[in-house]
Chain A
């Protein structure tokens, strides 16, 4: 998908005026936030599990080359294959080559953020292969020709009437007068349509929540069962995974799995957690004949050893999105690419560059909820701050804000001058604002006063009051 992260402000204006989006986003709180809190309250070991999970990932990243090589050896030993890919183009080429060799016509897909990052559907389509998304949310956005707005609930920006319209426009062989008023009817319709696709597909593509070095396995976590039908019925199973998905052992994965579903959907455990190891065995009555892991770097190794390395612990649970006041207000598509919310504000500049995505780390109130709910304790606000610093250092931020910051810095490092200026401002604004108590407009402050009044100062500055308090 073509990024529009550079147009963040424009996207936001549009999002704030989108009545459907604003209605849909009200589902976030009950759907995710409350259920997560309930599940965590039932697990007294929560904080200790977080600490252990962080330690596991840190250990793995410090020895990433070893664990990836071991993973590959074990995949090979089980009869599978690992395709090392530096970037999305190499990964797309690898997927296409596997499909071509099998003469594949249709491909079913489980939800994969790496697939979104690669835009693998576009690549397959351009080469005459039909990709079918099978996760209900992904299917909905695929038939609407849009990108995901959330990393685990890709269609969360839509209301059910929009989904019904898309189903009617796409499933044209069905009775146009059929009722499609509630989610149940739409689920049943998608189930029937996609069941045929599962049975017809030549190749199944899934993502991976974990790669297990010890056994050469991949693990996916789903609720619908689509990922399992996707990988079980076709002739080949392709796993799309970025290199930081590897963990040493099944036990290490189990620790992080205890955090994942609770953080993501507020479940004790997802309906389906599936460990896949190699292709079907000789005596197996079903399963894919080939097992391929497309191992993608795409800028991740460049984060190792930098102030952004902690981002490689991310398990894509979306808790940071679900608890972000900015995300809740503007929706995921405002962020303009695959990864929205706080994790996207850190990751997107790393993957697309600060020129494209410099707006995103600025779209934060630094309230810190993202870091506090992150199961992997990723210091998201700090990393957004690092991006802001880089943006500032590279003169990418607008001149007005640079001047503003420079002027403030000049004052803030000269306390006498600062106090004099604060006293003067409090006096002047207090004098002119006395009658009304607030300002509807102020010079240079339209960004504030366009949407709310500025209260007029009453009395002295904070510093003066504090000093007076100390004296008394």
Chain B
């Protein structure tokens, strides 16, 4: 349908009362893209030190019905996960994303936790994933797809447990974009971004029936964040 393409571009140019942009005109536009300058970022998170940002992240996440459990080291994660499931009377069964960050956790310390590693399927009631970053400004988790992190694991299970290290907390979405760009720019000839980047702010919800908010519309009913406090105290 290249006819349509030329026709649409032609209409746009006629409406703008000009022809195709020449190089002198496109150079600053291309530079703007390359520079991808930040616009105004609210002070809410950027004005805080990193400890403050971690605290803000937790408070904002709890404000949108996520739950946060703080632990001081990775080897406390299995216990925190087991306790969370048992407190809600949920079966001690998990599907775990095949992520090295999760594999490093000593799950065998809790032998009653039944863990299947891989892609979530229908019927997996609870799943655990790692994440890429967390945005303090709105209590938002940032995850992306890849061999170690299937996207469906973020959506199919009723209960989504996310293991987050406090060092992963950033102030703004823009900080997250920069980290993504750094990670994916390294891949030779690859795309600028992974197939999917999920910003997740609380569990799934809907208000489509009489504006009454119900959690767990299609995605997880519960979002539980296990926060490993690995901050070394630097600002």
Interface residues of A (CB under 8 A from B): 24, 27-28, 30-32, 43-45, 48-49, 52, 56, 62-70, 74, 77-79, 83-86, 90, 94, 134-137, 140, 153-156, 158-160, 163, 183-184, 186-188, 190-191, 194-195, 198-199, 213-217, 223-226, 228-229, 231-233, 243, 248-252, 254-255, 257-258, 265, 267-281, 283-287, 295, 297, 301-306
Contacts and interface: CB of A to CB of B under 8 A. Distances in A.
A285 B193 contact: no
16 contacts: A44-B43, A65-B13, A79-B191, A158-B209, A184-B214, A195-B218, A225-B204, A229-B152, A232-B152, A232-B196, A243-B8, A251-B174, A251-B177, A271-B64, A273-B198, A302-B15
Given A84-B4, A90-B4, A223 B147 contact: no
Contacts, number: 279
Contacts of B33: 70, 213-214, 248-249
Given A232-B151, A268-B60, 4 more contacts: A49-B40, A187-B206, A274-B197, A305-B15
Contacts of A231: 196
B87 interface: no
Interface string B1-30: 110110111011101110011000010011
A370 B156 CA distance: 39
Contact of A248 (B9, B32, B118): B32
A270 B201 CA distance: 7
Interface stretch (B73-81, B88-96, B103-111, B138-146): B138-146
Closest 6 CB pairs of A and B: A225-B219, A31-B211, A224-B217, A304-B15, A137-B208, A84-B5
Contact of B206 (A136, A255, A275, A286): A136
Main secondary structure of the interface of B (DSSP, over half): loop
A49 to B, nearest CB: 6
B127 interface: no
A276 B214 contact: no
B37 interface: yes
A86 B7 contact: yes
Contacts of B20: 65
Given A214-B33, A225-B218, A43 B15 contact: no
Nearest to B37: A251
A63 B193 CA distance: 24
Contacts of B218: 134, 191, 194-195, 198, 224-226, 229
Contacts of A79: 191
A229 B140 contact: no
A20 B181 CA distance: 51
Contacts of A304: 12, 15-16
Contact of B216 (A65, A187, A232, A258): A187
Contacts of B57: none
Given A224-B204, A228-B151, A160 B219 contact: no
A272 B198 contact: yes
A224 to B, nearest CB: 4
B154 interface: yes
A271 B201 contact: yes
Contacts of A45: 40, 42-43
Interface string B193-235: 1111111111111111111101011111000000000000000
A334 to B, nearest CB: 19
B122 interface: yes
Contact of A284 (B4, B42, B195): B195
Contacts of B205: 223-224, 271
B39 A228 contact: no
B155 A277 contact: no
Query: Most chain-B Cβ atoms within 10 A of its Cβ — which of A45, A199, A254?
Result: A254
B38 interface: yes
Nearest to A280: B195
B208 A284 contact: no
Contacts of A232: 151-152, 155, 196
Nearest to A256: B39
Interface string B171-183: 0111001000000
Interface string B47-79: 000000000000010011000000000000000
Contacts of A243: 8, 12
B147 A285 contact: yes
B35 to A, nearest CB: 9
Contacts of B39: 49, 52, 56, 251-252, 254-255
Contact of B151 (A251, A286, A301): A286
